[in-house]
Chains A and B, each alone.
Chain A
Amino acid sequence: MKDLFLIFKNLTRKPLRLFLTLFATFIAFMIFATLGSFQQALNAGIELSADDRLVSMNKINFTQPLPISYVERIRAVDGVEMVTHLNWFGGYFQEPRNQLGMFAVAPESFLQVYPELLVADDKREAWINNRQGLIAGEAVAKQYGWQEGQRIPINSNIFSKVDGSTVWDFDVVAIYTGADAQTDTNSIYFHYEYFNKTQSFGGDNVGFVAIKSADASQNEAVIAGIDTMFANSPAETETMPEKAFNKAFLDQIGNLGLILTSVVLAAFFVILIIVGNSMILSIRERTAEIGVMKTLGFGSGRIFRMVLAESLLLALIGGALGVLAANLLVAGINQAPVQLPTLVVNGALWLQALVFMLGLGLITGIIPAVNALRLNIITALSRG
């Protein structure tokens, strides 16, 4: 208890330096937790994808269509439990820069294959029965202020209607939520029937087919079954687990993970050096004092622990404040009207941060602690 008091006194003897060191640590951990939540949100698309879900697309590239007849043929493949299909619509709301992740789907089978999108039972029926109805994720609905029951016009930059217009009218039948906090709710889904009947070209095609296999262990067989069936046809398929597809899609943007990790490392490295130096300095200034403490009978081990405890405490306080600030920051970003995945500073991130705080505290404290441990009373007192 007495040691704790001494540690506290040591920490606070130079309030300005304490503040600056804490602030530097605070900044590093705020960057870490904020970017970490970004990285987790990016990975969530991969991590949260179901193991037993596969996607089948045109082998040339996923922007090339497949004939709609493939859906029924895929349904007949061994190991396939459920099948549904999606078309990228190229939708935007009011202005071209308000791009929407919007797909034409077969509502009933779609909701079965994607059970993580939660729609109330009565709304589900209402959507299936309303051909002009769409369901919008809560994130995108919030971004544009859409309410259930509202009628909204949506443009497509790919498809035009038979009459040449590119504006479709939709009823917002339901706003769906995600089963997990990080489930993507930026997407919009509407009736393939409505789309196929009103568009002016390229009808009876689907963008890609989503498949639920009976069990993840059968994925390989299902992939082989589908791709062999369509080999040497005008539209060959490439089937892969949803996880692999989502990962490849993210990779198209670039190695975001590497960028985020490098930035966090750079921030930590800077803080490590700043804090480390200031710890060494503050212990050196106390050389005479440590000599006195040793003279009074404080054991070397005890002094070693006290110095280390001081640096650990510094890292923990600064770090925890930083992660807390990141929590607030992330909540603010989530409120902002931009299309970003939902950011969460979750337990795993806290745990990781805690490990880094302990690491930072140990590394910055170890040199001064060893110096203090080795300090000879005579030199200490004569130097003072």
Chain B
Amino acid sequence: MSGFFSQLGTVTKMNLLSLPSRLWMSLAAVFAVAVVVAVLLAFLAMARGFAATLEGTGAEDVAIVTRTGSQAELNSVLSRETVSLISSSPGVAQDGDGNAIVSAELYVVVDGIRRSSQSEANIPLRGLAASGFDLRTGVQITEGRIFEPGRNEIIVGAGVQREFSGFEIGEELRFGKTVWEVVGVFSTNGSAFESELWADATTVQSQFQRGSSFQTVRMRLAELGNVEPIRQYIENDPQLILDVVTEADFFASQGEALSGIAIFGWTLSVVMGLGALAGALNTMYTSVASRVREIATLRAIGFSNSSAFFGTLIESLLLAIIGGAAGACAAWMFFDGFSTSTLGAGFTQVVFTFELTAALFVNGIAVALVIGLIGGIFPAWRAARVPVVTAFQGGE
């Protein structure tokens, strides 16, 4: 057995040391694998980043109530009566004074100008009260101050400020006839709320002619993740035509919107991978052909054909791993943390950053290994079957 390994070591060393003579051919294979891996990881990082943003948005201990079938906050309408009825539902946590911890909110779409394309995009303006801040974890005013109730003042999510122009502190925003002033910037640990503008709920109602209506209600759950009591309560009251889910569920399903991108990325990289595989096969067959006399000579002096087989396979795998690692590094350098925004399920822009996680990295390397394995196995088979007599003939 040790004989096999020393033979394998010799063959591998011979293969690798002779690489410089096939430098360009080998680089081509490495490069092809690198591009395939980089393209795959870019798409996966995009899908992951988007999903992570929305998964990080919803809380398990908060329920969100919308009109039945509305699916998005934008589509929902709740009257003041509905809001007060649902607030007295069992299963909702209460504060020290015995009041239910709820936040009735409005969700209006306004225009923002995207920095990269200078075109108009839908930005949500959320009307909420102080309780809305309490129902969200990690809200921080990073600049300026919070809006004052009753005044046309707006605070801007960090994501909005990053991707869209015209939302600096002190700037005036015109929505139709109304004029608003930006007074602060807030962050929410990178969640989708950072893609929003926030203002006082009552002010939004009056400035957007919403009367006394709201669109959604958020409620702190008495028991983590348990919306059943509220669902029962809604079912028993024919006046309430409402859906209730935990906020975590509400946003998690929205995060799947870009899963199609991941499928597209996989399809594309498999197809491109076939092209790269052709390159790898070409390289490895050439490698075997250029060493055919050495291989035959080794066989003649007693090397096993499996050492020729594995030596070639190792060369191929090594090239593929180098390519995969290079592609993954390139993807990491260019795409990890890349900020962008797209139209989310709420029909408004969701700002998110690409996330190249370790798990995705593994995917990239796996693709590279598959290309290296298939690209090496057939040429290795040929190497193992080089007849000994070739050593004594003149080349090919």
Residues on A close to B: CB < 8 A? 16-17, 20-21, 23-24, 27-28, 30-31, 58-61, 63-64, 90, 96, 155-158, 160, 164, 166, 201, 232-236, 247-248, 251-255, 263, 266-267, 269-271, 273-274, 276-278, 280-281
Contact = CB atoms under 8 A, between A and B. Distances in A.
Nearest to A164: B241
Contact of B120 (A164, A248, A266): A248
Contacts of B110: 60-61
B285 interface: yes
Nearest to B343: A252
A1 B272 CA distance: 37
A157 B69 contact: yes
B25 interface: yes
Nearest to B31: A273
A235 B271 contact: no
Nearest to B272: A267
Query: What is the interface of chain B mostly: helix, strand, loop, or mixed?
Result: mixed
Nearest to A202: B77
Interface of B: 24-25, 28-29, 31-32, 35-36, 38-39, 67-72, 74-75, 77, 108-111, 114, 116-117, 119-122, 175-177, 208-209, 241, 268, 271-272, 274-276, 278-279, 281-282, 285-286, 340-343, 347, 349
B109 A64 contact: yes
B69 A155 contact: yes
A270 B276 contact: yes
Contacts of A21: 278, 282
A157 B117 CA distance: 31
Contacts of B71: 96, 157
Contacts of B286: 281
Give 9 nearest A-B pairs by CB, closest first.
A27-B275, A274-B279, A251-B119, A24-B278, A20-B278, A277-B28, A63-B109, A61-B109, A158-B75
Given A266-B38, A270-B35, 10 more contacts: A20-B282, A27-B272, A31-B271, A60-B110, A61-B109, A96-B69, A251-B119, A254-B343, A273-B31, A277-B25
B176 A234 contact: yes
Nearest to A250: B119
Contacts of A278: 25, 282
B52 to A, nearest CB: 17
A273 B122 contact: no
B280 to A, nearest CB: 9
Given A61-B122, A166-B69, A277 B176 contact: no
B74 A63 contact: yes
B78 to A, nearest CB: 11
Contacts of A61: 108-111, 122
Given A61-B111, A254-B341, A269-B35, A16 B285 contact: yes
A21 B278 CA distance: 7
A91 B274 CA distance: 41
B70 A157 contact: yes
26 contacts: A20-B279, A27-B272, A27-B274, A27-B275, A60-B108, A60-B111, A61-B108, A61-B110, A63-B122, A157-B69, A160-B67, A160-B68, A160-B241, A232-B177, A234-B209, A236-B176, A248-B121, A251-B114, A252-B119, A252-B349, A266-B38, A267-B272, A270-B272, A273-B32, A274-B278, A281-B25
Nearest to A35: B268
Contact of B175 (A60, A63, A255): A60
Nearest to A277: B28
B342 A248 contact: no
A23 B280 CA distance: 12
A155 B276 CA distance: 47
Contacts of B209: 234
A27 B285 CA distance: 20
Given A24-B275, A158-B70, A267-B275, A248 B282 contact: no
Contacts of B275: 23-24, 27-28, 267, 270-271, 274
B28 A31 contact: no
A59 B175 CA distance: 7
B342 A270 contact: no
A84 to B, nearest CB: 23
Contacts of A277: 24-25, 28, 282
Contact of B75 (A90, A164, A266): A90
B144 to A, nearest CB: 24
B272 A31 contact: yes
Contacts of A157: 69-72, 75
A123 to B, nearest CB: 31
B375 to A, nearest CB: 10
A28 B120 CA distance: 35
Given A251-B117, A253-B343, A254-B341, A263 B25 contact: no
Nearest to B285: A16
A232 B177 CA distance: 6
A281 B176 CA distance: 67
Contacts of B117: 251, 255
Contacts of A266: 35, 38-39, 272
Contacts of B120: 248
Given A60-B111, A63-B109, A166 B282 contact: no
Nearest to A269: B35
Contacts of B176: 58-60, 64, 234-236
A271 B279 CA distance: 8
Nearest to B114: A251
Contacts of A63: 74, 109, 122, 347
Contacts of A20: 278-279, 281-282, 285
B205 to A, nearest CB: 15
